[in-house]
Amino acid sequence: MRYKSMLMATLALTGTVALWSVRASDAPAAAPAADQAPTKQTPQPSSVEQRAARTTADHSKFEALQKDFKSGPEVTKACLSCHTEAAKQIHKTKHWTWEWVNPDNGQKLGKKNVINNFCTSTQSNEAFCSSCHIGYGWKDKNFDFTSEENVDCLVCHDTTGDYKKLQGLAGHPVYKQMEYPAKSGKMVPAVDLQDVAQHVGATSRASCGACHFLGGGGDAVKHGDLDTSLKNPKRYLDVHMDASGLNFSCGTCHATKGHNIPGSRYTPTGKDAIAKHIRGKVDESNPTTCQSCHGQKPHKDDTIITAKLNEHTDKIACQTCHIPQFARGGKPTKMLWDWSTAGKLKDGKPFKILDSAGHDAYASIKGDFKYEADVVPEYQWINGKVKYTLLGDPVNTNGVTEINHYYGDANDGKSRIWPIKMFRGKQPYDLESKSLLVPHTAVGYGEKDDSAFWQNFKWDAALKAGAEASGQPFGGKFDFVETTMVWPITHMVAPKEDALTCTQCHSKSGRLQGVQGIYMPGRDANKWLDIIGWLAALGALVGVIGHGALRIYLSRKAG
Amino acid sequence: MLKIVGSFVAGIVFTAVLAWNMMGGLMFVERVSPFGVEETVARIQHNIQDTGNGWALSGLRNPAKAIQQDGGNALPVLMVEACSTAYSKPILNEDSVRFLSILMPCKISVYKKNDGKTYIGTMNAGLMGKMFGPLVGDIMGKVAADQVKFVVMDPSKPAPQMIVPKPAGEGGGGGGGGGGGC
């Protein structure tokens, strides 16, 4: 009986241990949260399948689209026969006007007016730059902004991927097979407008990205957090756009009303203090902020750590922790552009020099560059107010001129610390008026122009032509001034497990070491507070040792 | 007597703790590069090729790529691998130290940290070699001398092209056959 009891107890104990070990070994394999296991998610349907499931109209069956279209405006006319208000809506948007007045300071912004430190300005270069305009035929100042047929519906609504607007064609696609670039020997086929028109649909990352991924003259050049790696991104690159996960399109956040697309660096929201958007509720606040979906307490408030993280959201933009680096998709972004070295020729011909990774380090037409991938951002306070240095504004000849200045202050109650791409450049300015100059660089396809810098590499002629086109004075003498341009970073949101850790900011040489106006434990120190603390610690140690020694001494004396 | 033994033991413990804490820092060397990751790698690769003594590139690995493929993020890390048969042969032919093949090929790691700077990490070959007797000590001393030449970053020289092996040695696992060395 005794042995039987012992045997039973042993078996029970063994079974318990076995069960416990099975549970223990199973534990790490327990199903993780949906957003942590991208490889185990059910594959998402393709964009074509998704569109087919959503749409109630098959455009290939529309009578108006059964034509052999010869031009883009012809397609637009057909589109407008059903979508009667679309062009009128487009005409009111920045995407059409390339113009926007900042209500805070009255500055006229938009691509038509701003001068930056990438390609500098669209003025005098319209035929080239308008490949990213949602219209047809903008090649000079005579473009008809009131024409409805000049609106390009296909550039945003194409789903075939075949519709491309090449630079130099004044916003038109290729209607007849052509050699592009000229004298390159490469032939570009004509677009099948009927096919594209019959396969229109909602905008996608690819259609928005056709311009926004390629800004500044190439893939990943301008923004740093927007490039072609986001066409079909994996989860590590962006948890929202993850093609096999949430698969957000741009329009998911940039929720559009009447073709007006919200979310712009001209009107950034430094601190969104509005509660999350709710279906059915009319909400006029910016729908592109993190808070518009995630609210003001985005972390589960169930531990001391997450509660502490929620306390950070009043001063720290979500992007600061959740976008640890930008240009993470394998496409390096341009970090520096020095126009002052442009124009060198070898044997009378332009040339290029490549950097170690095979990207342009120098090009005769543009000057010196510096590319970088996986860039650790710089950080600054941003409250949503921004001021640009426009044509005619004075430059800082003794230092660096800020192309745009984002305002922000730790104590204004409207600012948060944001990650930014700080783009540095060197560009021409007029020695007399001390203001920036527009170089006339590009011309329309096949055109000859002695004053275009990319044709004749003569700064004088290019700046004179640019000044004439932009209505600015040019005294004939110029130099180059250092400039910076700030690009708030907001895309390429990493998985939460890759967010910044506490010590990446709370340390002496942490990421926020340059951010002023706040006391950060771990980064900042008060000399007297430190002395008092150390004295208190030392006093406690002396007290404990003294007390212990005294007790030992007294016990020996007593014993 | 108790005091002497106690002090001796305390001394040993203190030295052991000190050595334990310093060991990591002594075994490996880290320095800041004035260039970006790719350019640093390219300069190291070309330095290796210019050093002579039988050195040849044997691979270029990208451990960060494997993490990306697994759905995570890691700052850029590229590992340049190089080998010299002039140094590897005597070690591989001596049974008592053949296990040191685990340290082959010689690796130099180039990586970015959260401060945005690029760093070069190398093994302290000279010190490590001394732990394994005169044969290895002598060879590793020579390796250490060559290693100094590998990491020279001369800004007066133009940026060379990075040598990407065929097939690409990415994924953290795949070798990057550069065709040379060991």
Per-residue confidence (pLDDT) for residue A419, from 0 to 100: 97
pTM of the model: 0.85
Q: What is the DSSP letter of B150?
A: H
Nearest-CA neighbor of B105 among B63, B37, B54, B145? Answer: B54
* Mean of pLDDT values over A46-73: 84
Res A20 pLDDT > 80: no
Number of H helices, E strands in chain B: 6, 5
Opening angle at CA A260, ends A253 and A194, nearest 5:
95
Residues 6+ apart with CB under 8 A from A342: A363, A364, A365, A366, A367, A453, A457
Best B114, B161, B164 residue to mutate vs chain A (most A CBs within 10 Å): B114
Q: What is the DSSP letter of A261?
A: P
Q: Which residues of B touch A504 (CB under 8 A)?
A: 114
* Mean of pLDDT values over A74-97: 97
* A518 to chain B, closest Cα gap in Å: 20
Per-residue confidence (pLDDT) for residue A270, from 0 to 100: 86
Residues of chain B where predicted confidence (pLDDT) is lower than 50:
168-181
3-state SS assignment for residue A269: coil
Cβ atoms of B150 and B47 closer than 8 Å: yes
Distance CA B177, CA A402 (A): 48
Q: Is A59 on the interface with B (CB under 8 A)?
A: no
Encoded tokens for A254? 């940039």
Candidates A237, A373, A504; nearest CB to B114: A504
Report CB contact under 8 Å: B72, A497: yes
Q: Is A511 on the interface with B (CB under 8 A)?
A: yes
Report CB contact under 8 Å: B72, A495: yes
Q: Which residues of A touch B161 (CB under 8 A)?
A: 354, 356, 358
pLDDT digits (tens, 9 = 90+) for A368-417: 999 999 999 999 999 999 999 999 999 999 999 999 999 999 999 999 99
Best B35, B38, B67 residue to mutate vs chain A (most A CBs within 10 Å): B38
Q: Which residues of A touch B72 (CB under 8 A)?
A: 236, 495, 497-498
pLDDT digits (tens, 9 = 90+) for A503-559: 999 998 899 999 999 999 999 988 898 999 999 999 999 999 999 999 999 999 887
What per-residue string of b and e applies to B136-156 under the rule 16 or more CB within 10 Å gives b?
beebbebbbebbeebbebeee
Per-residue confidence (pLDDT) for residue A559, from 0 to 100: 74
Opening angle at CA A501, ends A497 and A503, nearest 5:
165
Cβ atoms of A408 and A429 closer than 8 Å: no
Q: What DSSP string runs through A396-428? A: -TTSEEESEEE---TTSSS-EEEEEEEEEEEEE
Distance CA A232, CA A243 (A): 5
pLDDT digits (tens, 9 = 90+) for B150-170: 999 999 999 999 999 876 444
Report CB contact under 8 Å: A495, B114: no
Best B45, B68, B73, B117 residue to mutate vs chain A (most A CBs within 10 Å): B73
Q: Which residues of A touch B70 (CB under 8 A)?
A: 236
Distance CA A268, CA A317 (A): 12
CB atoms within 10 A of CB A366: 23
Q: Is A503 on the interface with B (CB under 8 A)?
A: no
* Mean of pLDDT values over A318-323: 97
Q: Nearest chain A Cα to B116, which residue?
A: A376
Q: Is B63 on the interface with A (CB under 8 A)?
A: no
Report CB contact under 8 Å: B39, A356: yes
Q: Nearest chain B Cα to A377, which residue?
A: B116
First to last CA, chain B: 57
Mean confidence (pLDDT) of chain A = 90
* E strand or H helix at A96: helix A94-97
Q: Is A362 on the interface with B (CB under 8 A)?
A: no
| Chain B residues 105-124 with a CB less than 8 Å from chain A | 112, 114-116
Residues 6+ apart with CB under 8 A from A402: A389, A396, A483, A484, A485, A486
3-state SS assignment for residue A497: helix
For residues A263 and A484, the model is more confident at A484
Bridge partner residues of B56 (DSSP)? B83
Cβ atoms of A373 and A255 closer than 8 Å: no
Q: Which residues of B touch A325 (CB under 8 A)?
A: 73, 75
Q: Is B162 on the interface with A (CB under 8 A)?
A: yes
Distance CA A322, CA A497 (A): 9
3-state SS assignment for residue A341: helix
Per-residue confidence (pLDDT) for residue A50, from 0 to 100: 63
Residue A2 phi, psi dihedral angles, 5° rounding: -65, -40
Q: Which residues of B touch A358 (CB under 8 A)?
A: 161-162
Bridge partner residues of A387 (DSSP)? A405
3-state SS assignment for residue A235: coil
For residues A88 and A266, the model is more confident at A88
Report CB contact under 8 Å: B68, A236: yes
Cβ atoms of A437 and A115 closer than 8 Å: no
Per-residue confidence (pLDDT) for residue A55, from 0 to 100: 81
Q: Is B42 on the interface with A (CB under 8 A)?
A: yes
Distance CA A48, CA A191 (A): 20
* Mean of pLDDT values over A119-148: 96
Cα torsion angle, A131, A135, A136, A137, sign: negative
DSSP-derived pairing of the beta strands A416-430 and A333-338: parallel
Res A15 pLDDT > 50: no
pLDDT digits (tens, 9 = 90+) for A351-365: 999 999 999 999 999
Candidates A328, A354, A376; nearest CB to B116: A376
Distance CA B42, CA A356 (A): 6
Report CB contact under 8 Å: B114, A375: no
Counting Cβ atoms within 10 Å, is residue A288 exposed (0-12), middle (13-18) or buried (19+)?
Answer: buried
* Mean of pLDDT values over A249-272: 89
Res A36 pLDDT > 60: no
Encoded tokens for A48? 């074509």
Categorize the per-residue pLDDT at A286 as very low, low, confident or very high, splitting at 50, 70 and 90. Answer: confident
Q: Which residues of A touch B38 (CB under 8 A)?
A: 355-357
Candidates A235, A356, A494; nearest CB to B159: A356
Cβ atoms of A411 and A491 closer than 8 Å: no
